[in-house]
Amino acid sequence: MSETFDVVVAGAGPVGLMLACELRLAGVEVLVVERLTEIDRTIKAGAINVPTAQAFDRRGLLPELLAHQQAAVERMKAFTGATAGAANRPPIAGHFAGIMLSFDLIDAEDPAFAGVGPAGRAVLVSQQGIEEILGARAAELGVVVRRGVHLTDLTDHGDAVTVRCRADESSGGEESSRSGEIRASWLVGCDGGRSTVRKLAGFDFPGIGPEITGRQAVVEMSETEGLQPGWHDTDHGIYVYGPTPGRFLTVELDGPPVDRDAPITAAELEASLRRVAGVPVRVSAVRSATRFTDNTRQVPDYRKGRVLLAGDAAHVHSPFGGQGLNLGIGDAVCLGWKLAAVVDGRMDERLLDTYTAERYPIGAWVLEWTRAQVALMRLDRRSKALRAVMSELLSTGDGATTVFKRISGVLHRYHLGGDHELVGTIVPDRDLSDGTRVAEHFTSGQGVLFDFADSAELRAAAAPWQDRVRIVTAKPLAASDETGVGAAAGVLVRPDGYVAWAATEGVEGVTTALTRWFGR
């Protein structure tokens, strides 16, 4: 007999774990199957953006992010302190195709940054840090995570899905409960760029093929005197040295790797770094290494019957600009509460259509920006000339601020309709008159109606939804903005932090928004 769950999530990467936590928080019975027996320590994402940090903050996980960041800062200090010249570089807010954005140039007073709140302090958190935090949270919440288990097949019956799994013999545990069939109402493929779920379910995956080979590694090496910390474009490609000891990245624009699955050797890494940097380094041992390309693809619809995709399973692109993990976390946060409401029977399946509608455009934007960055890395003279123009623009306050606003994620919007400028934005985080902060009201995973004008009429209008929407009566402090939260009388926020309704007075439209997002 097969086991049953409400939702099976394939993959315990950052996206699968985030989704599982969101589902479980809403009471869903969720199983995560992960083929690896432990967290993948291969070097990947090293930083997070504002919406990711805010999503963690809303679930009470900001202290964990900051603790991981502190450890990363200590490691970096050890490296930069030991490296001549590094201390004099300006602090860097990010980059576009390796053209650095200096923090000093960015206009911190730009209104787009006004609602970031303390989550904005969490930036340098690695992918492994994210997975550790989410793994611990998943365990606390009672998510069933089975490691060493491969999803190998699936059948969508129309009203349920059957998945078939194979357990690694080496992974231990009760083989019989780990291999075999599992039946679920829904399956979500969070199984990465080469997603088995995507292939088995037959999703289209249009886009453009790769033209570069990137290598990122942490190694033991010597003869490094000629390497300069930071990002460098040379006549043979790009190399980045640091920001921690032994870490480097190379980009060569001579096509994709011949065999992406071949083991990455010290000889391959040494040869690549020598070619690109022109420095006769010696690589003696590989601690962690990965190859990447600029294969750029996105599924047109993130749902096919009872199967959904999130994270790299739904979109792949080069890592330039550091967006992939953030994009996937955003998918998980958007999907989690919606799928939970559908599983619970409170909401119609049509709510899931809004998942693709909201997430596809942000994914498409990320893909375009990564394509543009690869174009700026090309070695021909025209591309180099264009890169020089872009460098000049990004050395201005307006240029750096414009690009940083995009890559930090503070401009993310969903097109939810409604007249008020806050609708479709992430709710600005503000201190409130009752001593709390806006973000602190989301730890239970429910929606929140902020009753900023102490309006009995607004509370009465929302009363029928009180089992799924918390009502908070308090005023925002430091309300200097005349049109945003500071001037709003009421703001209805979905569990994912996005504003569904807002008004400067009255309650018009609030019951429509409550019904649309939280059911009748």
Q: Where on the chain is the footprint of ligand FAD (CB under 6 A)?
A: 10-16, 33-36, 40, 44-47, 127, 150-151, 190-192, 196, 216, 290, 292, 311-313, 319, 322-326, 328
Q: Which residue matches tokens 């921690």?
A: 244
What DSSP element (H or E) covers 442?
none
Q: Which is nearer to ligand FAD, 290 or 391 (CB)?
A: 290
C-alpha distance from residue 159 to each of 99, 153, 155 (Å) = 50, 17, 11
Q: Which is nearer to ligand FAD, 13 or 230 (CB)?
A: 13
Q: How far is the CB of 363 from ligand FAD (least distance, A)?
A: 11
Spatial separation of the C-alpha atoms in residues 519 and 298, rounded to whole Å = 30
Nearest to 271 by CA among 322, 380, 254, 261: 254
Q: Which is nearer to ligand FAD, 16 or 363 (CB)?
A: 16
Q: How far is the CB of 326 from ligand FAD (least distance, A)?
A: 4
Contact criterion met (CB below 8 Å) for 207 and 297: yes
Q: Which is nearer to ligand FAD, 66 or 487 (CB)?
A: 66
Contact criterion met (CB below 8 Å) for 356 and 303: yes
Q: Which is nearer to ligand FAD, 134 or 489 (CB)?
A: 134
Q: How far is the CB of 40 from ligand FAD (least distance, A)?
A: 6
What is the rounded end-to-end Cα distance, in angstroms, of the chain? 37
- How big is the CA angle at 217 (ends 212 and 223), to the nearest 5 degrees? 105
Q: How far is the CB of 182 from ligand FAD (least distance, A)?
A: 12
Q: Which is nearer to ligand FAD, 10 or 133 (CB)?
A: 10
Task: For the beta carbon of residue 299, count every other beta carbon within 10 angstroms.
Answer: 23
Q: How far is the CB of 483 from ligand FAD (least distance, A)?
A: 31
Question: Six-digit token pair at 118?
Answer: 């303390």
Q: How far is the CB of 63 from ligand FAD (least distance, A)?
A: 21
Q: Which is nearer to ligand FAD, 244 or 290 (CB)?
A: 290
Q: How far is the CB of 87 from ligand FAD (least distance, A)?
A: 23
Q: How far is the CB of 61 from ligand FAD (least distance, A)?
A: 17
What are the beta bridge partners of residue 239?
A: 232, 250
Q: Which is nearer to ligand FAD, 251 or 485 (CB)?
A: 251
Please give the radius of gyration of the chain, using alpha carbons only, rounded to the nearest integer. 24
Question: Six-digit token pair at 383?
Answer: 């591309």
Spatial separation of the C-alpha atoms in residues 146 and 173, rounded to whole Å = 10
What DSSP element (H or E) covers 349?
none
